[in-house]
Amino acid sequence: MPLKTYPEDPDAWSETTSPLEGYWQTEFCSRCGVRLSTKRVEGDYSVESYLEEPRFSNVCKFSLYDGREFNATLQNSRLNFYLSIDSCFSDIGHAIVLFDKWGKAARWYFSCPNDAGFHEFSIPLGLGTGWSEDTGFDWRFLKSIRFVISGPGYGVQGSVWIDKIYFQYYELVRPELTIDSVPQGKAFTINGTSSLTPDTFGLDPNVEYTVSIDPINFDHWENDSKNPVRTISLAEGEKKTITAYYVEVPPPPPGKGTILCYAYLNAEQVSVDVTVDGMGPYATPFRIDVDPGNYTLVAAYRGKTQSQAVYVEEGEIKQVVFYFKKSLISWIPLAVVLTSCALLTFGLIYHVRKR
């Protein structure tokens, strides 16, 4: 999975107090502010939040504009930044407060050495990653990041520097499946969605999909499977083409039409006896050339019969398919049933005699 950052340049939000996606500001203080500082880890500047009057804490905030919010439900989302604090601040008891677009908050408490050096932080984001969240906090729309750097008591006056602040996440690359056939234009379904070959689908990785292609004249898949129904699962980023091959059907002889007949038990092709206007029986699959006209086909399979009436024109290839379903009842051979009944009867007689 490729690693992505927001913004694309991880240092962009600390090179100016008003970057493209949002803006920096201070809070709760009339004699404090944010400015650029040449004290930095990377690039030309960092963002400095300064106090010019004694306060309990140094508070600054970066807010994203409407429509620029970050979706922290993306895979492995994190908040990354470098932080440096003056020695007048405590080294513990600091907080990062995230706000969603509706003002709900999530809090993360942390410590930082107050040695005036930069220290790197990478904090996981999302539900269940250790944040203290307001009820209803929405990780899909992170709007603001507030830094609260606490002092040991009232009266601290100093600066906090933030550099290279950005979000990171892994972008999921969906696998792609192309379903093709020779010849093309065959109907198929993939997990119930219908289309014609060739077509390409973006799938979820490591999820099993069922592909069912037109069984008429189907011969085999590229993996030599003879079943027109197959399952497939692809890994993230994988691209694969599966191809169904069909048997060419020659045209009918002059003055004739052709009946092609197939039978399936669920998705599996089976041999079934079929009569055509009383002629036969013919075992599926079969081809029969006939004079133009009306015909009735009757198929018999495991005690079940089906019939279909068709009209065949001169020069036409008419395809007839019979579909049978497997019985949900497991039939027990009659001999087994009779033997079981005899043993049960003998057992009852023996039990009565013993009494």
Please report, for the domain that includes residue 240, its CATH number. 2.60.40
Between residues 270 and 295, the one the model is more confident about: 295
% residues pLDDT > 70 (the chain):
90
Position 203 in a domain: yes
Which residues form the domain of 219? 176-246
Q: Which of 246, 270, 300 is the last residue of a domain?
A: 246
Say what the pLDDT of residue 52 is: 86
Same domain, 148 and 231: no
Q: Look at the chain and report how many structural domains it folds into.
A: 3
Position 252 in a domain: no
Position 349 in a domain: no
Residues 6+ positions from 44 with CB-CB distance below 8 Å:
15, 38
Same domain, 35 and 126: yes
User: The domain spanning residue 264 has which CATH number?
Assistant: 2.60.40.10
pLDDT tens, residue by residue, 148-204:
999 987 778 899 999 999 999 998 888 999 999 998 888 899 998 989 999 999 998
332: Cα separation from own chain's centroid: 44
Same domain, 10 and 95: yes
27 sits in the region (left: phi over 0; alpha: psi -120 to 50; else beta) called beta
Angstrom distance (rounded) from CA 139 to CA 184: 46
Confidence of residue 267 (pLDDT cuts 50, 70, 90): low
Q: Is the pLDDT of residue 354 over 80?
A: no
The torsion defined by the Cα of 185, 311, 262 and 324, in degrees rounded to 10, comes to 110
Q: Is the pLDDT of residue 9 over 80?
A: yes
Question: Once rounded to an integer, what is the mean pLDDT over residues 108-115?
Answer: 96
Which residue type sits at 265?
L
Same domain, 160 and 293: no
Question: Once rounded to an integer, what is the mean pLDDT over residues 238-254?
Answer: 92
Q: What is the pTM of this model?
A: 0.57
Say what the pLDDT of residue 338 is: 45
| Nearest to 173, CA basis, from 198, 141, 206, 197 | 206
Helix (H, G, I), strand (E, B) or coil at 208: coil
Angstrom distance (rounded) from CA 94 to CA 110: 5
Say what the pLDDT of residue 19 is: 97
Same domain, 29 and 127: yes
Same domain, 30 and 136: yes
Angstrom distance (rounded) from CA 48 to CA 37: 6
How many CB atoms are closer than 10 A to CB 246?
A: 18
Q: Is the pLDDT of residue 353 over 70?
A: no
Position 78 in a domain: yes
Position 152 in a domain: yes
Q: Is the pLDDT of residue 238 over 90?
A: yes
Say what the pLDDT of residue 328 is: 52
Same domain, 23 and 165: yes
351 sits in the region (left: phi over 0; alpha: psi -120 to 50; else beta) called alpha
Question: Once rounded to an integer, what is the mean pLDDT over residues 61-77?
Answer: 96
Burial profile 167-194: b = 16 or more Cβ within 10 angstroms, e = fewer: bbbeeeeebebebbbeeeebebebeeee
Angstrom distance (rounded) from CA 173 to CA 175: 6
Same domain, 132 and 110: yes
Question: Once rounded to an integer, what is the mean pLDDT over residues 104-112?
Answer: 97
Same domain, 24 and 166: yes
Position 351 in a domain: no
Question: Once rounded to an integer, what is the mean pLDDT over residues 100-120?
Answer: 97
pLDDT tens, residue by residue, 210-231:
999 988 888 999 999 989 999 9
| Nearest to 289, CA basis, from 320, 321, 317 | 317
What are the C-alpha distances in Å from 60 to residues 91, 110, 167, 168, 202? 17, 16, 18, 21, 43
348: Cα separation from own chain's centroid: 60
Position 60 in a domain: yes
Q: Which of 138, 170, 202 is the last residue of a domain?
A: 170
User: The domain spanning residue 65 has which CATH number?
Assistant: 2.60.120.260
Q: Is the pLDDT of residue 24 over 70?
A: yes
Same domain, 26 and 72: yes
Position 139 in a domain: yes
Question: What radius of gyration do the chain's Cα atoms show?
Answer: 37
Say what the pLDDT of residue 236 is: 86
Say what the pLDDT of residue 341 is: 45
Question: Once rounded to an integer, what is the mean pLDDT over residues 87-99?
Answer: 95
Same domain, 102 and 50: yes
Q: Which of 170, 188, 204 is the last residue of a domain?
A: 170
Same domain, 37 and 143: yes
Average pLDDT in the chain: 89
pLDDT tens, residue by residue, 300-337:
998 899 999 999 999 998 889 898 887 654 444 544 44
